[in-house]
Amino acid sequence: MVICDNLSSLSLALDLDNDIVFETMADAMMNEKYVGATLPSLPISSVSPEKQKDDVRQDVEHNTSDKVVGFHLPPTKRRKPSNDITAQSVTLGIQNSICTKDRRSAIYTACATFDHTLEAVHDEEIKAGADIALCKHLSFLILKTQMLKSSSTGNETKNARGNLDNEQNSIMEEITDTTAAMEMVLRCSAKSISTTFERIGSEFLPLLFHLIRDQIQYATKNQSKLGSSSSPSSSPPPLSDDSSKNQKEENEDVSENTDEGRPSNVLGDLCLKFCTKILGHFARVGVLTEILASTPDLLDTLKNIIAIPQGIIPIEAKWNSLWVLANLACSADNMVRMAHHEGLVKTLIDVASHPCDEAKVKDIVQYLELLRSRSIAVRAILNLSWVQDNKVPFSEHSGLVDALLQTVSHRKSSWGGRGKGVSGILLQSRRHAAGALRNIAAAPRRNKKLLCRYASGTFLHTLAEIAKNDPDSTVRDKIHATLLNLVSADTVRIFISKKDVLQVIADAAMNGEYFTGGDGKDSCSMATRTLRTLEKAMPEDEDGYSILRSIITRFEEKGNGEKPVNV
């Protein structure tokens, strides 16, 4: 399916590569690995409290290791459920449990049963009503949380406060496991996800937004306290900020201080990851993208997650949110709506502008987090840039153009060569940025001229340098398509005045084998069309016309082994 309905009407070169055409919109951003990725879950009450603490800490240490730099969290081992357990029995267990012991047992069984990657089995879980049962269960737990909050007077004795916080911890653990179970169930087929959304979407999404807001509020609040106090609160969200020594010791299984000095809320962090990944499952279904983008609070919720400074919330939650935005932007009907949503494009540009100074990055883990975030943000900008209505504002946005130029020029890194995939992410980012530049260059004539004069007229020089020196043929092809899209009667004289730019175009047109590491055919074709378009746009009685005519004549008469023409 072609994303942009008016794609064929674009007058200049917009190559239809795999970035643009998809069998389904979901394939644009989320592949099978995303659907099948499993997340760690918390143990249940049948395990001793000491074992629970150890297991939770091991999960956190494993998932924050410097070896974990990808988008997907590693799976964790669960006890194999009995063969007698079915999706129907698990669902009934959730529906029929009310007291704490029964609820926790039912949710643990659900997590143990649903934690697999068999799509057809997940479809059966949806048919059994597991999604409905989990939605009702989550709403019940949130109600209990609100009741506990309202019952807190702030004047309780130490023991009363401790009991209240312990009950809050227990409910937060249930909430985290319930969101984990829902994420597992949603590894089903797109058809089943559509069924789930139709059944519970209008009621379930507000619950997710509520949980996300609570965790963001707690994380930012404790980060603020960290800046003003050497002893940040370690009590669980959102009821208590008691920082007494005894209470800290009781709640060590929920919150602790990371090496970076920020308070780490284990349960809240996991819950935030599960909530954002659930949104990702919904967003991978093409027929739901327009509904999701128009859902109140969804775009604001994603924007707020992405805008939080690095280190305050789990990086996976930010990546998930960026992926959701990029996937929603695959819909032509969403592109204009999202581009005009207050602060959304600015948030993407802020992410796409980093890392701006590698010297300020403390280690490879932080660098990879910034690099991957930028890659997904630039991909979202690429998707938004396809619709014609966005080309004008994008081409006039200096911050956006700067971010794209910075990204497409970023070929090497001091952090590269360490086996962490830096070069691969840089390449992916350059391809996305080059595609976005190609798209916005297909703007009206006035904006083409504005771009050619951008950055004191160095915009074309920068493009020419990339077209000449980038080692990737796909990046070079897209930059040559950008140069072609910029040609008009208003810009032809600007092109003619820049001899180094003409030289790069002429070299590409004269010899498709001119570049190392690729056949150069696409660049050659684009460069040839650029020269011919410049010739048509240039009046024959002007001096520049003879230069163009000379280049084109040499091209037409060139034989095998002829050297590239000098401008």
**Per-residue pLDDT tens for 314-346?**
999 999 999 999 999 999 999 999 999 999 999
> What total of structural domains would you count in the chain?
1
Tell me the residue range of the domain where 232 lies. 42-325
Per the domain annotation, does 374 fall within a domain?
A: no
Closest C-alpha among 458, 337, 470, 446 to residue 395: 446
Per the domain annotation, does 26 fall within a domain?
A: no
Per-residue pLDDT, averaged over 434-462, amounts to 96
Identify residue 21 by its one-letter amino acid code.
V
pLDDT value at position 82?
Answer: 59
- Look up tokens 């969290």; give the residue: 73
Region of poorest pLDDT, from 51-55, 397-401, 547-551: 51-55
Per the domain annotation, does 404 fall within a domain?
A: no
Per the domain annotation, does 511 fall within a domain?
A: no
Query: Are the C-beta atoms of 251 and 165 separated by less than 8 Å?
Result: yes
Per-residue pLDDT, averaged over 181-192, amounts to 97
In degrees and rounded to multiples of 5, residue 308 shows phi and psi of -70, 130
Per the domain annotation, does 557 fall within a domain?
A: no
Per the domain annotation, does 317 fall within a domain?
A: yes
Per-residue pLDDT, averaged over 91-101, amounts to 95
Per the domain annotation, does 99 fall within a domain?
A: yes
DSSP designation for 168: H
Per-residue pLDDT, averaged over 97-123, amounts to 95
- Identify the three-state secondary structure at position 265: strand
Query: What's the rounded Cα separation, in Å, for the pair 505 and 307?
Result: 40
Q: β-pairing, 255-257 with 263-265?
A: antiparallel
pLDDT value at position 224?
Answer: 67
- What is the b/e burial string over 493-531, where b = at least 16 CB atoms within 10 angstroms of the residue's CB? ebbbebeebbbbbbbbbbbbebbeebebebbbbbbbbbb
Query: What's the rounded Cα separation, in Å, for the pair 472 and 427?
Result: 8
Q: Tell me the two tokens of residue 234.
A: 């370690």
Per the domain annotation, does 549 fall within a domain?
A: no
pLDDT 10s digits, 238-280: 433 343 333 344 334 444 444 344 445 889 999 999 999 999 9
Per-residue pLDDT, averaged over 359-371, amounts to 86
Per-residue pLDDT, averaged over 5-32, amounts to 35
Contacts of 167 (CB under 8 A, 6+ apart): 148
Query: What's the rounded Cα separation, in Å, for the pair 194 and 292?
Result: 12
Cα within 13 Å of Cα(510), Cβ side: 22
DSSP designation for 470: -
Region of poorest pLDDT, from 42-51, 170-179, 538-547: 42-51
Predicted TM-score of the model (pTM)? 0.79
Question: For the chain, what percent of residues have pLDDT higher than 70?
Answer: 73
